A and B are shown apart, each in its own frame.
Chain A
Amino acid sequence: MKADPSGVLTGMHFLDGDHAACEGALAAGCRFVAGYPITPSTEVVERFASRIPMVGGVFIQMEDEIASSIAVLGGAWGGKKVMTVTSGPGLSLMMEHIGLAAITETPVVIVDVQRGGPSTGLPTLPAQADMMQVKWGSHGDYEIIALSPASPQECFDLMIRAFNLAETWRVPVFFMMDEVIGHMTERVDIPPADRIDVVERRWTTKKPGEYRPYAAGPDGVPDMVKAGDGHRIHITGLTHDERGYPAMNPAAQDKLVRRLTDKIRKNREALADIREDGVEDADVVVVSFGITSRVAAAAVDSARAAGLKVGHMRLVVVWPFPEHRIAQMAPRVKAFVVPELNLGQIALEVERAAAGRARTVRIGHAGGTVHEPEQILAGIREAAG
């Protein structure tokens, strides 16, 4: 279906990433946000608080991020598309509810405008060091999806996709910005509502009594209802059967957890979004995401000017990690170069997928600013040998 025009600010704008992300959420149909202020993400909720009274919806500033992260799950079961927004310390507080969202299959978008850590770290300066936390942070086995925008325009465009993926797969979808993308101002074009495709919730067509909340379709995803529809659902964070009732035994655990993980893992290739540039005959491939991809592109240009055969892969979807593509390339490239604003997180995935068939050169950076292109260029030269 097409976007509800009341949330779409059609036109050409000059926006930073935080504001553009909010506009993306409104265009995607988000009508309930619960949040808690935290630098450098606060502008997202500030704009939502200012815009939503005229769009039709609710913003509430909760007492902490624990509350925000579960208020949005309540909001989803009340029938709205929902989002919460935070940065590192708040993300750490949200972990238990990421697991609850995963096991209850509640569609939710969580925006993480990354800053330097650990702990309070660098509140006003960038990092990309929460990449493993969003993948593994809550206890137990589960899967999530994570997108990494590289510009304010992508903060708008990819946010719509984030909501669509959350509704399609019923998993937490992380929107992995960073302080630079959040506060960088560029041109953002917002199309008319009738040119924005949005995915409606997977509302069941079954009648009360027939509907089983966790009976999944062929794609591994169950259809959904909201409270008040007469289905008298029971939703629990305990391991549950297709009725949603607690079923605490190894067989039920195996069936549920495999389905929660398989619905993403088995669709890894379909979910992948890799922007490739010149990888076909490359000796060295730079693998990057988010703000770092913009610096990496400059380094790749310099390396090519110096005669090196260098390709560039930008991961728009970071999780699930596109290990199939790395595995395809690994036998024919010398090395992957992985610059990221952390000391080696996604590089571990590249190494794992390459499985010894190509070197992985880490260009780590502890955060606080972005890389210098020369740092990445030096890594490319080293990799090219």
Chain B
Amino acid sequence: MSQNLAIAADEREYPVENPVIPYLRQERIPHIWCPGCGIGTTVNCFARALTESKRDLDQVAIVSGIGCTGRVAGYLNLDSFHTTHGRAIPFATGLKLSNPKLKVVVYSGDGDLFAIGGNHFVHAARRNMDLTVICVNNFTYGMTGGQLAPTTPIGASQTTMPYGNFENPFNLPFLADACGAVYVARWTVFHVKQLTRAMHEAISKPGFTFVEVLAPCPTLYSRRNKLGDGVDQVKYYKERSVVKHGAATKEVALGFQGDIVVGKFVDRERETWLDGMNAHFEKVLGPRYRRYGE
């Protein structure tokens, strides 16, 4: 224990043993996430994806909204922005357009991105804004205590759906596909290798790329629905996940504790918003246009 702390305190004197340590703001650890929560696993995969991408980390920025996953930005040793509830995507849009050299990643939860922030997701995907959006989907509002999310499966109980949810949840890959995302994948925190590869692919591909990660919320969602602890939920992911690369996204909706279709569903080419702006203005304005962002 004491040796681990020493490593954290001074990486110059001691060899770094965990390859993820340089990606974390050590002075902010311990984090706030509950035992068994899946968010930390996604952060681990993201750090490894950054390693594989060989990007200059000074040119990677991360933007989060509000909620448990919204705290990711605060733990990563990158330029990081913890914004308002639901508005990480428009902040990231401004950041990217203002400084196009940056790789901008939005990292937030299902309630933040798809309830209060749903409109921004729709429009950023439509525009093919050059952003990667990583959504940690735990089917609930964790930080506020387990309320109904736009992803809660029908039948699951939440504090604001105490007799079980009766409203239809979003099928997130279908939504992202329909709005024009150029890359859409879904994995769970059981699939750490596949998730890392998907995150690497998503941050390497220009345009609006989207990765959905299913992650347990043992404290609220699992306990309220009598689904056991975090390990039980990961066992469920293992047993009921079905890999179907290229699956039609309208076929990948999730039911309560039902089969989970995982894989890379969409990988296509579209001109990004900025490339489109530069090409269009050069065409219509000719030499009067001052090409932007290069």
Binding site for B on A (CB under 8 A): 6, 32, 34, 53-58, 60, 62-64, 66-68, 70-80, 82, 96-97, 100, 226-238, 245-246
Contacts and interface: CB of A to CB of B under 8 A. Distances in A.
Contact of B82 (A57, A73, A228, A235): A235
B90 A62 contact: yes
A162 B281 CA distance: 30
Interface string B75-106: 00111111110010011111111110110000
A230 B59 CA distance: 8
B192 to A, nearest CB: 25
A208 to B, nearest CB: 8
Interface string B45-85: 00000000000001101010000000001100111111110
Contacts of A78: 94-99, 102
B173 to A, nearest CB: 21
B102 A75 contact: no
B28 interface: yes
A54 B25 contact: no
B17 to A, nearest CB: 22
Interface residues of B, number: 42
B101 A74 contact: no
A53 B289 contact: yes
Interface of A: prevailing SS: mixed
Contact of B289 (A54, A67, A82): A54
A227 B95 contact: yes
B80 A53 contact: no
Contact of B90 (A6, A57, A70): A70
26 contacts: A58-B97, A58-B292, A60-B273, A62-B90, A63-B120, A66-B87, A66-B90, A71-B91, A74-B91, A74-B98, A75-B95, A76-B98, A77-B95, A82-B94, A82-B98, A227-B79, A228-B79, A232-B77, A234-B73, A234-B81, A235-B81, A236-B73, A236-B81, A236-B82, A237-B84, A245-B25
B119 A63 contact: yes
Q: Is the interface of B mostly helix, strand, loop or mixed?
A: helix
Contacts of A74: 63, 81, 90-96, 98
Nearest to B90: A67
B290 A53 contact: yes
A145 B107 CA distance: 33
A62 B98 CA distance: 14
A224 B79 CA distance: 13
Contacts of B25: 234, 245
Given A54-B289, A63-B119, A66-B90, A100 B83 contact: yes
Contact of B101 (A6, A80, A228, A245): A228
A96 B97 contact: no
User: Which of A66, A67, A80, A236 has the most chain B CB atoms inside 10 A of its CB?
Assistant: A67
B74 A234 contact: yes
Interface in B151-183: none
B104 to A, nearest CB: 8
B116 to A, nearest CB: 9
Contact of B74 (A54, A64, A72, A245): A245
A72 B58 CA distance: 22
B242 interface: no
A75 B94 contact: yes
Contacts of A236: 73-74, 81-82
A32 B101 CA distance: 15
B79 A232 contact: yes
- The residue among B59, B94, B97, B285 with the most chain A CB atoms within 10 A of its own CB is B94
A53 B289 CA distance: 6
B12 interface: no
B288 interface: yes
Contacts of B123: 62-63, 67
B91 to A, nearest CB: 4
A238 B95 contact: no
Nearest to A74: B94
B80 A234 contact: yes
Residue among A73, A78, A236 with most chain B CB within 10 A? A78
A226 B90 CA distance: 17
The 9 closest A-B pairs by CB, nearest first: A78-B98, A74-B94, A78-B99, A71-B94, A74-B95, A67-B90, A236-B82, A75-B94, A56-B290
Contact of A70 (B74, B83, B273, B289): B83
B285 A53 contact: yes
A6 B288 CA distance: 12
B81 A77 contact: yes
Contact of B93 (A60, A232, A245): A60
B289 to A, nearest CB: 5
Contacts of B78: 232
A116 to B, nearest CB: 28
B285 A230 contact: no
B288 A54 contact: yes
B277 interface: yes
Contacts of B77: 232
Q: Please indicate which of the listed interface residues B25, B87, B123, B290 has the most CB atoms of chain A within 10 Å of its own CB.
A: B87
B93 A71 contact: yes
The interface centre, meaning the residue of B27, B79, B83 with most chain A CB atoms within 10 A of its CB, is B79
Q: Tell which of B28, B93, B95 has the most Cβ of chain A within 10 Å.
A: B95
A58 B102 CA distance: 16
B31 to A, nearest CB: 12
A298 B92 CA distance: 49
